[in-house]
């Protein structure tokens, strides 16, 4: 479709969108579900907030993931952050198989009844002591997703894993 007043004989460059066309409607509503079919993750989402020390507080239960509700919502421009536990004393948790995700895998987030699709671009392990906060939470020019869980060596004295796994994905 051409904008009014643009002659119909003006060529539209191959492979480029019409600059006067409409963009897709922005997603609305709250994210409610996460699916990573390649590893069998299908979970509801709860709202997550920051703790007193500025850290992202993980979901209350082990069987459910959450999204950082004070940050970018999935489908909006910027990095939407979702987190979940890897395991518990009773066994594997919701993000146990997240370490099996590879570049190219598809991630879906249900938001306001619409399914938003993302493609994994990278997986990275970081020591918690050197977590790249700016890279994970910093601004991005497009719609991106970050999935975060713990992993690596379990430090019994701290009762915590030493590392974090971050999955990076972009909207399709």
pLDDT band of residue 11 (cuts 50, 70, 90) is: low
Structure-model confidence comparison of residues 48 and 5, the more confident one = 48
pTM: 0.84
State how far the Cα of 171 lies from the Cα of 136, in Å rounded to an integer: 16
> For the chain, what's the residue count?
172
Taken in order of first residue, the domains within the chain and their CATH numbers are 31-171 (2.40.260.10)
- Digit-coded pLDDT (tens) for 116-133: 999 999 999 999 999 999
Q: 3-state class of 38 per DSSP?
A: helix
The reported pLDDT for the residue numbered 2 is 45
Structure-model confidence comparison of residues 11 and 47, the more confident one = 47
- Digit-coded pLDDT (tens) for 20-79: 555 556 688 999 999 999 999 999 999 999 999 988 999 999 999 999 999 999 999 999
């Amino acid at each position: 479709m051409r904008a009014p007043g643009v002659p119909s004989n003006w060529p539209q460059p191959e492979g480029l969108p019409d600059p006067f066309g409409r963009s897709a409607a922005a997603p609305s509503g709250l994210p409610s579900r996460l699916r990573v079919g390649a590893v069998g993750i299908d979970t509801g989402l709860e709202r997550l907030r920051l703790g007193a020390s500025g850290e992202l507080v993980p979901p209350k239960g082990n069987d459910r993931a959450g999204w950082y509700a004070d940050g970018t919502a999935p489908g909006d421009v910027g990095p939407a952050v979702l987190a979940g536990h890897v395991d518990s004393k009773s066994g594997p948790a919701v993000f146990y198989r997240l370490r099996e995700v590879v570049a190219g895998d598809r991630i879906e987030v249900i938001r306001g009844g619409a399914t938003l699709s993302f493609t994994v671009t990278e997986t990275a392990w970081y020591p918690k002591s050197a977590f790249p906060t700016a890279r994970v939470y910093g601004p991005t020019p497009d719609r991106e997703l970050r999935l975060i869980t713990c992993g690596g060596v379990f430090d019994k004295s701290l009762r915590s894993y030493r590392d974090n796994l971050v999955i990076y994905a972009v909207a399709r």
